[in-house]
Amino acid sequence: MSLPIVVPLALLLAPVGPGPAPEPRPPNVVFVLADDLGWGELGCYGQERIRTPRIDGIAAEGMRFTRHYAGSPVCAPSRAVWMTGLHTGHAFVRDNSENGGWGKDAPEGQLPLPAGTDSLPRRLRSAGYRTACVGKWGLGGPGTSGHPNRQGFDLFFGHLCQRKAHNHYPAHLWRNEEKVELDGNPWFASHQRIDAPPADGDYGAYTGDRYAPAEMLAAAERFVRAHADEPFLLWYTSPIPHAALQVPDALVEEYPAEWDESPYLGRKGYLPHPRPRAAYAAMVTHLDREVGRLLDLLAELGLEDDTIVFFSSDNGPTFNGGTDSTFFDSAAGLRGLKCSVHEGGIKVPLIARWPGRIAAGSTSDLVTAFEDVFPTVTELCGLDAPEEVDGVSFAPTLLGRPDEQAAPEVRYWEYARQQAVRRGDWKLVRTWDREGAVRTMLFDLASDPNERTDLAAERPERVAALLADARAARTPSEEFPRPALDGAE
Protein backbone atom coordinates (compact mmCIF):
# COMPACT_ATOMS: atom_id res chain seq x y z
CA MET A 1 0.00 0.00 0.00
CA SER A 2 1.40 3.38 -0.97
CA LEU A 3 1.91 6.04 1.65
CA PRO A 4 0.07 9.37 1.38
CA ILE A 5 1.99 12.27 -0.03
CA VAL A 6 2.34 15.15 2.47
CA VAL A 7 2.51 18.57 0.82
CA PRO A 8 3.71 21.54 2.94
CA LEU A 9 1.02 24.15 3.54
CA ALA A 10 3.22 26.90 2.13
CA LEU A 11 3.27 25.09 -1.22
CA LEU A 12 -0.50 24.62 -1.22
CA LEU A 13 -0.95 28.35 -0.66
CA ALA A 14 1.73 29.45 -3.12
CA PRO A 15 0.53 31.09 -6.35
CA VAL A 16 0.22 28.70 -9.28
CA GLY A 17 1.88 29.63 -12.53
CA PRO A 18 5.22 30.04 -14.22
CA GLY A 19 7.93 32.43 -13.14
CA PRO A 20 9.40 33.47 -9.79
CA ALA A 21 7.32 34.78 -6.90
CA PRO A 22 6.89 38.57 -6.92
CA GLU A 23 9.44 40.63 -5.05
CA PRO A 24 8.22 42.04 -1.73
CA ARG A 25 7.00 45.60 -1.91
CA PRO A 26 9.52 48.22 -0.71
CA PRO A 27 8.13 50.05 2.33
CA ASN A 28 6.55 53.45 2.11
CA VAL A 29 8.00 56.15 4.38
CA VAL A 30 5.93 58.84 6.08
CA PHE A 31 8.10 61.19 8.12
CA VAL A 32 6.18 63.85 10.06
CA LEU A 33 8.34 66.78 11.14
CA ALA A 34 6.82 69.24 13.59
CA ASP A 35 8.03 72.85 13.76
CA ASP A 36 9.39 74.02 17.16
CA LEU A 37 7.72 71.18 19.08
CA GLY A 38 9.43 70.65 22.42
CA TRP A 39 10.85 67.45 23.85
CA GLY A 40 8.29 67.57 26.62
CA GLU A 41 5.18 68.55 24.65
CA LEU A 42 3.95 65.04 23.84
CA GLY A 43 2.11 62.76 26.23
CA CYS A 44 4.51 59.91 25.49
CA TYR A 45 7.37 62.12 26.73
CA GLY A 46 5.58 63.23 29.89
CA GLN A 47 3.31 66.11 28.86
CA GLU A 48 0.25 66.38 31.11
CA ARG A 49 -1.61 69.43 29.80
CA ILE A 50 -1.60 69.05 26.02
CA ARG A 51 -3.50 66.15 24.47
CA THR A 52 -1.61 64.15 21.80
CA PRO A 53 -3.30 60.73 21.72
CA ARG A 54 -2.57 59.83 18.09
CA ILE A 55 1.13 60.64 18.29
CA ASP A 56 1.32 58.81 21.61
CA GLY A 57 -0.28 55.87 19.81
CA ILE A 58 2.67 55.68 17.41
CA ALA A 59 4.95 55.26 20.42
CA ALA A 60 2.66 52.61 21.91
CA GLU A 61 2.69 50.70 18.62
CA GLY A 62 6.36 51.28 17.84
CA MET A 63 9.64 52.57 19.27
CA ARG A 64 10.30 55.75 21.26
CA PHE A 65 13.83 57.18 21.29
CA THR A 66 15.02 58.93 24.44
CA ARG A 67 18.26 60.50 23.14
CA HIS A 68 17.50 61.91 19.70
CA TYR A 69 18.83 65.20 18.36
CA ALA A 70 17.76 67.63 15.66
CA GLY A 71 20.27 68.82 13.12
CA SER A 72 20.31 72.36 14.51
CA PRO A 73 18.45 74.53 17.03
CA VAL A 74 16.74 76.41 14.16
CA CYS A 75 14.71 75.53 11.10
CA ALA A 76 16.64 75.71 7.84
CA PRO A 77 19.94 74.06 8.87
CA SER A 78 18.11 71.33 10.75
CA ARG A 79 16.16 70.47 7.60
CA ALA A 80 19.35 70.57 5.55
CA VAL A 81 20.89 67.97 7.86
CA TRP A 82 17.79 65.79 7.48
CA MET A 83 17.95 66.06 3.68
CA THR A 84 21.67 65.39 3.25
CA GLY A 85 22.91 63.36 6.22
CA LEU A 86 25.62 65.99 6.83
CA HIS A 87 25.81 67.65 10.23
CA THR A 88 26.31 71.41 10.50
CA GLY A 89 30.08 71.06 10.47
CA HIS A 90 29.86 69.88 6.86
CA ALA A 91 26.41 70.90 5.61
CA PHE A 92 26.02 73.66 3.05
CA VAL A 93 23.25 75.36 5.07
CA ARG A 94 24.41 75.96 8.66
CA ASP A 95 22.15 78.81 9.76
CA ASN A 96 18.98 80.62 8.76
CA SER A 97 19.89 82.94 5.90
CA GLU A 98 17.25 85.08 4.22
CA ASN A 99 17.20 85.78 0.49
CA GLY A 100 14.21 88.10 0.66
CA GLY A 101 12.27 90.43 2.93
CA TRP A 102 9.09 90.70 4.96
CA GLY A 103 7.13 92.91 2.57
CA LYS A 104 4.10 91.75 0.63
CA ASP A 105 5.94 91.65 -2.69
CA ALA A 106 9.44 90.93 -1.35
CA PRO A 107 11.36 87.96 -2.77
CA GLU A 108 10.78 84.66 -0.99
CA GLY A 109 13.14 82.06 0.31
CA GLN A 110 16.30 81.25 2.19
CA LEU A 111 19.78 80.22 1.07
CA PRO A 112 19.15 77.44 -1.49
CA LEU A 113 20.69 74.01 -1.45
CA PRO A 114 23.11 73.71 -4.40
CA ALA A 115 22.17 71.93 -7.59
CA GLY A 116 23.09 68.26 -7.56
CA THR A 117 22.92 67.86 -3.78
CA ASP A 118 22.81 64.16 -2.86
CA SER A 119 19.53 64.20 -0.97
CA LEU A 120 17.38 61.50 0.58
CA PRO A 121 14.38 62.11 -1.71
CA ARG A 122 16.62 62.06 -4.78
CA ARG A 123 17.99 58.67 -3.75
CA LEU A 124 14.54 57.23 -3.21
CA ARG A 125 13.14 58.71 -6.42
CA SER A 126 15.97 57.17 -8.43
CA ALA A 127 14.90 53.80 -6.99
CA GLY A 128 11.32 54.18 -8.18
CA TYR A 129 9.74 55.96 -5.21
CA ARG A 130 7.26 58.78 -5.66
CA THR A 131 8.30 61.62 -3.39
CA ALA A 132 6.51 64.56 -1.80
CA CYS A 133 7.31 67.32 0.64
CA VAL A 134 4.17 68.90 2.05
CA GLY A 135 4.45 71.74 4.54
CA LYS A 136 7.29 74.17 5.21
CA TRP A 137 10.50 74.09 3.17
CA GLY A 138 13.05 76.88 3.84
CA LEU A 139 15.90 75.54 1.68
CA GLY A 140 15.40 77.63 -1.45
CA GLY A 141 12.75 79.91 -2.91
CA PRO A 142 10.95 79.99 -6.26
CA GLY A 143 13.17 79.37 -9.26
CA THR A 144 16.30 78.52 -7.26
CA SER A 145 18.50 75.44 -7.18
CA GLY A 146 17.08 74.67 -3.76
CA HIS A 147 13.47 74.38 -4.89
CA PRO A 148 12.11 71.02 -3.69
CA ASN A 149 11.37 69.88 -7.25
CA ARG A 150 15.10 70.33 -7.95
CA GLN A 151 16.10 68.44 -4.80
CA GLY A 152 14.30 65.16 -5.45
CA PHE A 153 10.64 65.81 -4.70
CA ASP A 154 8.02 65.05 -7.35
CA LEU A 155 5.50 67.16 -5.43
CA PHE A 156 5.82 70.16 -3.20
CA PHE A 157 2.86 71.88 -1.58
CA GLY A 158 3.16 74.48 1.15
CA HIS A 159 5.42 77.36 2.18
CA LEU A 160 8.64 77.66 0.21
CA CYS A 161 9.72 80.53 2.47
CA GLN A 162 10.11 80.31 6.24
CA ARG A 163 9.02 83.92 6.73
CA LYS A 164 5.70 83.34 4.98
CA ALA A 165 5.15 80.36 7.28
CA HIS A 166 4.93 82.75 10.25
CA ASN A 167 1.32 83.39 9.22
CA HIS A 168 -0.92 80.31 9.19
CA TYR A 169 -3.58 82.15 7.16
CA PRO A 170 -1.27 83.24 4.32
CA ALA A 171 -2.34 84.90 1.10
CA HIS A 172 -0.78 82.07 -0.91
CA LEU A 173 1.00 78.73 -0.83
CA TRP A 174 3.00 76.96 -3.56
CA ARG A 175 2.23 73.82 -5.54
CA ASN A 176 5.53 73.01 -7.18
CA GLU A 177 6.32 76.17 -9.23
CA GLU A 178 2.73 77.45 -9.13
CA LYS A 179 1.60 80.09 -6.65
CA VAL A 180 -1.75 79.05 -5.18
CA GLU A 181 -3.78 82.03 -3.99
CA LEU A 182 -5.83 81.37 -0.86
CA ASP A 183 -9.00 83.36 -1.35
CA GLY A 184 -10.36 84.81 1.85
CA ASN A 185 -6.92 85.25 3.41
CA PRO A 186 -6.00 88.92 3.04
CA TRP A 187 -2.30 89.72 3.25
CA PHE A 188 -1.15 91.22 6.52
CA ALA A 189 2.18 91.59 8.26
CA SER A 190 2.97 88.46 10.25
CA HIS A 191 4.74 90.42 13.01
CA GLN A 192 2.31 92.90 14.51
CA ARG A 193 1.89 94.33 17.99
CA ILE A 194 -1.06 96.18 19.47
CA ASP A 195 -1.22 98.47 22.50
CA ALA A 196 -4.40 97.00 23.95
CA PRO A 197 -6.90 94.23 23.23
CA PRO A 198 -9.50 95.11 20.59
CA ALA A 199 -12.42 96.97 22.19
CA ASP A 200 -14.85 94.34 20.94
CA GLY A 201 -12.55 91.45 21.83
CA ASP A 202 -12.41 90.41 18.18
CA TYR A 203 -9.02 89.17 16.98
CA GLY A 204 -10.47 88.06 13.66
CA ALA A 205 -8.36 90.61 11.81
CA TYR A 206 -5.40 88.29 12.34
CA THR A 207 -6.93 85.21 10.73
CA GLY A 208 -8.59 84.31 7.45
CA ASP A 209 -10.85 81.76 5.81
CA ARG A 210 -8.33 79.07 4.87
CA TYR A 211 -5.99 77.57 7.48
CA ALA A 212 -2.73 76.60 5.81
CA PRO A 213 -2.16 73.40 7.82
CA ALA A 214 -5.59 72.14 6.72
CA GLU A 215 -4.73 72.87 3.08
CA MET A 216 -1.45 71.00 3.48
CA LEU A 217 -3.06 67.97 5.09
CA ALA A 218 -5.50 67.70 2.21
CA ALA A 219 -2.61 67.81 -0.26
CA ALA A 220 -0.77 65.09 1.64
CA GLU A 221 -3.85 62.88 1.63
CA ARG A 222 -4.28 63.34 -2.11
CA PHE A 223 -0.66 62.34 -2.67
CA VAL A 224 -0.99 59.15 -0.61
CA ARG A 225 -4.22 58.15 -2.38
CA ALA A 226 -2.70 58.81 -5.80
CA HIS A 227 0.33 56.59 -5.09
CA ALA A 228 -1.13 53.87 -2.89
CA ASP A 229 -0.05 51.23 -5.42
CA GLU A 230 3.61 52.23 -5.57
CA PRO A 231 6.27 52.99 -2.95
CA PHE A 232 6.33 56.59 -1.76
CA LEU A 233 8.10 58.99 0.56
CA LEU A 234 6.00 61.67 2.24
CA TRP A 235 7.96 64.25 4.22
CA TYR A 236 5.16 66.04 6.05
CA THR A 237 6.81 69.17 7.42
CA SER A 238 3.98 70.81 9.30
CA PRO A 239 4.51 74.53 10.06
CA ILE A 240 2.95 74.17 13.53
CA PRO A 241 3.22 74.73 16.45
CA HIS A 242 5.67 77.45 15.31
CA ALA A 243 4.25 80.89 16.08
CA ALA A 244 2.14 82.80 15.18
CA LEU A 245 -0.53 81.49 17.54
CA GLN A 246 -3.28 80.76 15.04
CA VAL A 247 -5.68 77.84 15.07
CA PRO A 248 -9.45 77.47 14.54
CA ASP A 249 -11.37 78.78 17.56
CA ALA A 250 -13.29 75.54 18.14
CA LEU A 251 -10.06 73.77 19.10
CA VAL A 252 -9.01 76.60 21.40
CA GLU A 253 -12.28 76.18 23.28
CA GLU A 254 -11.32 72.62 24.18
CA TYR A 255 -8.72 73.96 26.61
CA PRO A 256 -9.43 75.73 29.95
CA ALA A 257 -10.28 79.43 29.86
CA GLU A 258 -8.57 79.90 33.24
CA TRP A 259 -5.20 79.13 31.68
CA ASP A 260 -5.08 82.62 30.19
CA GLU A 261 -5.32 85.54 32.58
CA SER A 262 -4.35 88.06 29.91
CA PRO A 263 -4.10 88.17 26.12
CA TYR A 264 -0.93 88.19 24.06
CA LEU A 265 -0.50 91.56 22.34
CA GLY A 266 2.37 90.72 20.04
CA ARG A 267 5.08 92.19 22.26
CA LYS A 268 7.52 89.32 21.58
CA GLY A 269 6.95 89.18 17.86
CA TYR A 270 4.25 87.56 15.72
CA LEU A 271 0.51 88.15 15.85
CA PRO A 272 -1.64 88.79 18.94
CA HIS A 273 -4.06 86.25 20.40
CA PRO A 274 -6.66 86.51 23.18
CA ARG A 275 -5.85 83.10 24.72
CA PRO A 276 -2.19 82.33 24.03
CA ARG A 277 -1.72 79.23 26.20
CA ALA A 278 -4.92 77.59 25.01
CA ALA A 279 -4.07 78.49 21.42
CA TYR A 280 -0.63 76.89 21.67
CA ALA A 281 -2.03 73.68 23.15
CA ALA A 282 -4.69 73.68 20.45
CA MET A 283 -2.04 73.95 17.73
CA VAL A 284 -0.21 70.90 19.09
CA THR A 285 -3.49 69.00 19.29
CA HIS A 286 -4.32 70.08 15.73
CA LEU A 287 -1.01 68.58 14.65
CA ASP A 288 -1.87 65.42 16.56
CA ARG A 289 -5.16 65.16 14.66
CA GLU A 290 -3.36 65.70 11.36
CA VAL A 291 -1.16 62.73 12.23
CA GLY A 292 -4.28 60.77 13.11
CA ARG A 293 -5.81 61.55 9.73
CA LEU A 294 -2.70 60.26 7.97
CA LEU A 295 -2.66 57.09 10.07
CA ASP A 296 -6.35 56.51 9.37
CA LEU A 297 -5.75 56.94 5.65
CA LEU A 298 -2.96 54.36 5.69
CA ALA A 299 -5.33 51.95 7.45
CA GLU A 300 -8.15 52.66 5.00
CA LEU A 301 -5.87 51.92 2.04
CA GLY A 302 -4.42 48.78 3.61
CA LEU A 303 -0.96 50.33 3.81
CA GLU A 304 -0.27 50.13 7.54
CA ASP A 305 2.02 47.09 7.35
CA ASP A 306 3.78 48.50 4.29
CA THR A 307 4.56 51.92 5.76
CA ILE A 308 7.20 53.13 8.20
CA VAL A 309 5.90 56.16 10.10
CA PHE A 310 8.32 58.49 11.87
CA PHE A 311 7.56 61.54 13.99
CA SER A 312 10.04 64.18 15.16
CA SER A 313 10.57 67.95 15.48
CA ASP A 314 13.05 70.27 13.77
CA ASN A 315 14.35 71.83 17.01
CA GLY A 316 13.39 72.57 20.59
CA PRO A 317 10.50 74.74 21.79
CA THR A 318 10.49 78.48 21.23
CA PHE A 319 10.44 81.47 23.54
CA ASN A 320 8.55 84.10 21.57
CA GLY A 321 5.28 84.79 19.82
CA GLY A 322 3.17 84.36 22.96
CA THR A 323 4.32 80.81 23.69
CA ASP A 324 4.91 79.77 27.30
CA SER A 325 7.43 76.97 27.55
CA THR A 326 7.56 77.26 31.34
CA PHE A 327 3.81 76.69 31.74
CA PHE A 328 3.92 73.54 29.58
CA ASP A 329 7.40 72.44 30.70
CA SER A 330 8.06 72.22 26.99
CA ALA A 331 11.74 71.29 27.32
CA ALA A 332 11.05 68.86 30.18
CA GLY A 333 13.65 70.48 32.41
CA LEU A 334 16.41 70.59 29.81
CA ARG A 335 18.59 73.69 29.63
CA GLY A 336 17.89 76.07 26.77
CA LEU A 337 15.22 76.47 24.13
CA LYS A 338 15.19 77.02 20.38
CA CYS A 339 18.32 78.85 19.13
CA SER A 340 20.46 77.19 21.82
CA VAL A 341 22.87 74.28 21.36
CA HIS A 342 22.18 73.24 24.93
CA GLU A 343 19.98 70.14 25.24
CA GLY A 344 16.67 72.02 25.26
CA GLY A 345 17.37 73.51 21.85
CA ILE A 346 18.44 70.35 20.03
CA LYS A 347 17.07 67.30 21.86
CA VAL A 348 13.79 66.35 20.20
CA PRO A 349 11.30 63.49 20.16
CA LEU A 350 11.63 60.61 17.73
CA ILE A 351 9.14 57.78 17.45
CA ALA A 352 8.78 55.17 14.73
CA ARG A 353 6.15 52.57 13.82
CA TRP A 354 6.28 49.68 11.36
CA PRO A 355 3.82 46.95 12.35
CA GLY A 356 5.39 43.53 12.49
CA ARG A 357 8.90 44.92 12.14
CA ILE A 358 9.38 47.43 14.98
CA ALA A 359 8.45 46.03 18.38
CA ALA A 360 5.38 47.71 19.87
CA GLY A 361 5.94 49.71 23.04
CA SER A 362 9.72 49.57 22.76
CA THR A 363 12.20 52.30 23.69
CA SER A 364 15.80 53.01 22.78
CA ASP A 365 18.44 55.12 24.51
CA LEU A 366 20.72 55.01 21.47
CA VAL A 367 22.08 58.48 20.70
CA THR A 368 20.69 59.36 17.28
CA ALA A 369 20.44 62.55 15.24
CA PHE A 370 19.04 63.95 12.00
CA GLU A 371 22.17 63.02 10.07
CA ASP A 372 21.27 59.37 10.73
CA VAL A 373 17.91 59.59 8.96
CA PHE A 374 19.34 59.41 5.41
CA PRO A 375 21.30 56.15 5.91
CA THR A 376 18.53 54.68 8.07
CA VAL A 377 15.75 55.21 5.55
CA THR A 378 17.83 54.01 2.61
CA GLU A 379 18.70 50.80 4.49
CA LEU A 380 15.08 50.18 5.48
CA CYS A 381 14.08 50.66 1.85
CA GLY A 382 16.67 48.16 0.64
CA LEU A 383 18.98 50.72 -0.95
CA ASP A 384 22.70 51.30 -0.64
CA ALA A 385 23.55 53.82 2.04
CA PRO A 386 25.30 56.97 0.86
CA GLU A 387 29.04 57.11 1.49
CA GLU A 388 29.52 60.82 2.14
CA VAL A 389 27.35 61.28 5.21
CA ASP A 390 28.08 61.95 8.87
CA GLY A 391 25.30 59.74 10.18
CA VAL A 392 24.95 56.02 10.76
CA SER A 393 21.86 53.92 10.12
CA PHE A 394 19.87 53.03 13.21
CA ALA A 395 17.85 50.45 11.27
CA PRO A 396 19.36 47.59 13.34
CA THR A 397 17.95 49.16 16.50
CA LEU A 398 14.54 49.67 14.91
CA LEU A 399 14.43 46.07 13.72
CA GLY A 400 15.47 44.53 17.03
CA ARG A 401 19.13 43.79 16.24
CA PRO A 402 20.95 46.09 18.70
CA ASP A 403 24.07 43.90 18.66
CA GLU A 404 24.57 44.98 15.02
CA GLN A 405 24.20 48.69 15.78
CA ALA A 406 27.07 51.05 15.04
CA ALA A 407 27.15 54.72 16.01
CA PRO A 408 29.30 57.79 15.26
CA GLU A 409 31.83 58.50 17.99
CA VAL A 410 31.20 62.24 17.79
CA ARG A 411 28.07 64.37 17.41
CA TYR A 412 28.49 67.96 16.28
CA TRP A 413 26.40 71.16 16.03
CA GLU A 414 27.12 74.79 15.27
CA TYR A 415 24.75 77.72 15.04
CA ALA A 416 25.33 81.47 15.07
CA ARG A 417 27.91 82.11 17.83
CA GLN A 418 27.63 78.64 19.37
CA GLN A 419 29.21 75.23 18.97
CA ALA A 420 28.56 71.89 20.64
CA VAL A 421 30.20 68.49 20.39
CA ARG A 422 29.30 65.25 22.13
CA ARG A 423 31.43 62.14 22.58
CA GLY A 424 29.91 59.43 24.72
CA ASP A 425 28.25 61.19 27.64
CA TRP A 426 30.57 64.18 27.53
CA LYS A 427 29.35 67.36 25.87
CA LEU A 428 31.29 70.54 25.18
CA VAL A 429 29.47 73.83 24.56
CA ARG A 430 31.28 76.95 23.31
CA THR A 431 29.75 80.37 22.90
CA TRP A 432 31.32 83.65 21.91
CA ASP A 433 30.05 87.21 22.00
CA ARG A 434 30.25 89.88 19.31
CA GLU A 435 33.63 90.99 20.61
CA GLY A 436 34.99 87.47 20.26
CA ALA A 437 35.16 86.52 23.93
CA VAL A 438 34.74 82.76 24.23
CA ARG A 439 33.10 80.77 26.99
CA THR A 440 33.75 77.02 27.11
CA MET A 441 31.56 74.67 29.17
CA LEU A 442 31.79 70.93 29.79
CA PHE A 443 28.96 68.68 30.94
CA ASP A 444 28.67 65.01 31.90
CA LEU A 445 25.24 64.13 30.51
CA ALA A 446 25.20 60.77 32.29
CA SER A 447 24.98 62.44 35.71
CA ASP A 448 23.81 65.89 34.59
CA PRO A 449 21.38 65.57 31.65
CA ASN A 450 20.07 69.11 32.24
CA GLU A 451 23.56 70.67 31.96
CA ARG A 452 23.53 72.41 35.33
CA THR A 453 27.16 71.78 36.39
CA ASP A 454 30.04 73.10 34.28
CA LEU A 455 33.08 70.83 34.70
CA ALA A 456 35.42 72.64 32.30
CA ALA A 457 37.74 73.92 35.04
CA GLU A 458 37.93 70.50 36.68
CA ARG A 459 38.54 68.45 33.53
CA PRO A 460 40.88 70.43 31.23
CA GLU A 461 42.08 67.25 29.53
CA ARG A 462 38.51 66.38 28.54
CA VAL A 463 37.97 69.92 27.25
CA ALA A 464 41.11 69.66 25.11
CA ALA A 465 40.01 66.32 23.66
CA LEU A 466 36.56 67.60 22.74
CA LEU A 467 38.01 70.75 21.20
CA ALA A 468 40.14 68.49 19.00
CA ASP A 469 36.96 66.59 18.08
CA ALA A 470 35.26 69.86 17.19
CA ARG A 471 38.12 70.94 14.92
CA ALA A 472 38.10 67.57 13.17
CA ALA A 473 34.30 67.58 12.77
CA ARG A 474 33.97 70.74 10.69
CA THR A 475 35.16 72.30 7.49
CA PRO A 476 35.20 76.07 6.91
CA SER A 477 32.14 77.55 5.18
CA GLU A 478 32.20 80.51 2.80
CA GLU A 479 28.46 81.02 3.31
CA PHE A 480 28.72 80.93 7.12
CA PRO A 481 32.23 82.01 8.13
CA ARG A 482 33.01 81.32 11.79
CA PRO A 483 36.46 82.70 12.63
CA ALA A 484 36.02 81.75 16.28
CA LEU A 485 35.57 78.13 15.21
CA ASP A 486 38.17 78.00 12.48
CA GLY A 487 40.75 79.09 15.05
CA ALA A 488 39.33 77.11 17.96
CA GLU A 489 41.80 76.56 20.76
> Domains in the chain, please, with CATH?
28-408 (3.40.720.10), 417-486 (3.30.1120.10)
Task: Give how far Cα 184 sits from Cα of 211, 249, 317, 446, Å.
Answer: 10, 17, 31, 53
- Share the mean pLDDT of the chain: 93
- The pLDDT assigned to 103 comes to 80
258 secondary structure, DSSP code = G
E runs forming strands in 298-401: 307-313, 350-353, 362-364, 368-369
The stretches in the chain having pLDDT less than 70 are 1-23, 486-489
**Positive or negative torsion for Cα 44, 49, 50, 53:** positive
pTM of the model: 0.94
State residue 16's pLDDT score.
46
Q: What is the pLDDT of residue 487?
A: 61
The pLDDT tens digits of the residues spanning 376-413 come to 999 999 998 888 899 999 999 999 999 999 999 999 99
